[in-house]
Each structure stands twice: as C-alpha cells, then as structure tokens.
C-alpha cells in the first residue's frame, strides 16, 4: 500500500478522534465546575441531611433549624409560625455575632398563584438564643416543602466572603425540648448548657392539631387547615442521648414540663 493511500485512510480516523476529544472537554468542565464563591447561591446540596460523609451540622442546628454551609460560614435557618430566625456560625460551627449584618428573605411558593413573601432581616439581641437575624412573617399556612426561602446577606465578618445568597426549603423548626434553668439557653437534646455548664432540663410543651399533626405551634390556637383547636403535646427527650442523664442525680431540682 502506498504512503499516499495510507494517509488518506488515516484522515477519517484522526478526524473522528478529534471530534470525540472536543465533545468530552465541555462535559468535563460542566461536571467539575461546582464551587463556592462570595455572593453565590449556595444551593440545597448543603442543607441538613445532605452533608458529605463524615461531616455533621449538628453544632450549627442548636435552635431546631436546618443548616446551610457556604465557603466561610454555616447558617441555621429556623422557621417559626410568626417569622424566621437566621443564626450565624463560623466555618467550625462556633456561634458568631451578626451585628452589623443586613439582609432580606424572599419566600417563593410552589403554587405560582400564591404571592411572594418578602421581609428585611435585622439583628436581634437575645440572651437565650445568642442573637440572630430575624424577620416577621406569617408562616402558619405553609406545609413542609411547599416553599423555598432565598436569603441575601451583606456585611458578613468573613475574610473573603462578605456577601452571600443561599436557598433553604421551608420546614418548621424542631421543638426545643430542653432548656438551661439559669441562662435559658435551649437545645434539642439533654446535656450540659454550653454557656454555663448547668444541666439542661425538659421544658415547655407545644401545640398540634390532632387531625393534622404537621400543624404545630408554640402557643394555643386553631388549626389553619380544619379550624380544630390545637391540643397540648408534651415535649419528650430525644432517645439515645448517651450522656447518662437518665441515672444522673440533678441535685434535687425539679424537671418541669
């Protein structure tokens, strides 16, 4: 076979190989392009329950909310019937002050007929909760997963990350079944108070609808779905605490529900 004939036969193979390489390049760049930047939308891949292997957000969910992680911070979003609280933590999940931080929240519903909810966030000093960014919103008539809230925060105390934007699916904050009798700090599990070291004690009850148990409130009222009166439910300790408090002598003080 002549050299010219071999070259002519090789050209189609080379062209096919080049086309395959060019097709792979954009696919690889799309697969590897996920990263965190200041002011980005963090996305829901970092919400509670979707952390990477070995990474827990438990310390950043001390107030019954759900945690979202960005490049330098953790944000605990706690939805309540009358508004939303955003607790700030650093990259190691240590609580930090958000004094001077400003921002807003927009709640968008799956049902396009429902109007968007908007509110400005402001820093609230709270001795028990350690302070949080808060906004007043009527959130009682929303089912879990029926809405998403987008938070835009500015003026964060980060080295590179001053502004962030992240989205969190709607889910009412978990009941805080334990409280410190001295400084009133709260927790979702028994143990020692992180502020003063005192034993946490079982605290208040909450109210729920007997027909729609997903409708809960921290005060008396009626169910927004069926108008039935909410009934009192005693908060119970979480099982498996493993801290030995079941057999621990609490020095004679009472545990009041």
Residue-range domains of the chain with CATH: 34-174 (2.60.40), 175-257 (no CATH)
| Residues contacting residue 246 through CB under 8 Å, at least 6 positions apart | none
Taking the model in full, what pTM does it have? 0.58
Are the C-beta atoms of residues 186 and 176 closer than 8 Å to each other? yes
pLDDT per 10-residue tile (average), the chain, 257 residues: 62 65 45 35 42 67 90 94 91 93 96 94 82 91 91 95 96 73 67 76 69 70 80 58 40 41
């Amino acid at each position: 076979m002549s050299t010219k004939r071999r070259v002519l036969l090789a050209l189609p193979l080379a062209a096919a190989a080049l086309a395959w390489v060019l097709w792979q390049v954009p696919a690889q760049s799309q697969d590897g392009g996920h990263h965190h930047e200041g002011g980005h939308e963090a996305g829901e891949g970092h919400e509670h329950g979707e952390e990477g292997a070995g990474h827990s957000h438990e310390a950043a969910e001390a107030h019954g909310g759900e945690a979202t992680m960005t490049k330098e911070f953790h944000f605990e979003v706690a939805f309540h019937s009358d508004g939303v609280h955003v607790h700030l933590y650093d990259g190691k999940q240590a609580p930090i002050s958000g004094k001077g931080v400003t921002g807003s929240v927009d709640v968008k519903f799956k049902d396009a007929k429902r109007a968007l909810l908007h509110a400005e966030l402001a820093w609230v000093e709270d001795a028990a909760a350690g302070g949080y960014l808060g906004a007043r919103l009527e959130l009682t008539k929303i089912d879990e997963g029926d809405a998403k809230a987008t938070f835009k925060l500015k003026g964060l105390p980060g080295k590179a990350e001053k502004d962030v934007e992240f989205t969190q699916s709607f889910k009412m904050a978990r009941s805080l079944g334990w409280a410190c009798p001295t400084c009133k700090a709260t927790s979702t599990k028994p143990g020692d108070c992180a502020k003063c070291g005192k034993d946490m004690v079982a605290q208040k009850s909450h109210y729920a609808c007997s027909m729609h148990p997903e409708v809960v409130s921290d005060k008396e009222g009626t169910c927004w779905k069926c108008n039935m009166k909410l009934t009192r439910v005693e908060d119970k300790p979480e099982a498996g605490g493993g801290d030995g408090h079941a057999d621990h002598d609490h020095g004679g003080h009472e545990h009041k529900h």
